[in-house]
Amino acid sequence: EGDIAWLGFLRKLRSTAMPIATLRRYVELARAGDGTSAARLALLREHRETVLARRAELDDALGAIDLKIALYSERLPS
């Protein structure tokens, strides 16, 4: 089950648009052992900030889409 959980986590990272090179670096660090925990933490924290920024962009875009949907909905007869 540990391997399955590991692969699942890597898939989650990839689903957040983590670049392959960064994902490979994370895997290399993990394979190198506990001595790389600080580097892995830094990598994950940096990626988290990237994900949060992207989420903010998506939320903004979604707001614009919702506004446009509301405008079109008001113009069309029910």
Band (pLDDT 50/70/90 cuts) for residue 78 is confident
For 15-55, the pLDDT digits (tens) are: 999 999 999 999 999 999 999 999 999 999 999 999 999 99
Reduced to 3 states (helix: H, G, I; strand: E, B; else coil), residue 39 is: helix
Tell me the C-alpha distance between 23 and 7, whole Å.
12
Range of the domain at 48: 2-75
At 77 the pLDDT is: 85
Tell me the C-alpha distance between 67 and 60, whole Å.
11
At 1 the pLDDT is: 63
Number of domains in the chain: 1
Indicate whether 8 pLDDT > 80.
yes
Q: How many alpha carbons fall within 13 Å on the CB side of residue 33? A: 1
* Residue 67: CATH number of its domain: 1.10.1660.10
**pTM of the full structure:** 0.85
Residue corresponding to tokens 């392959």: 20
CB 43 within 8 A of CB 19: no
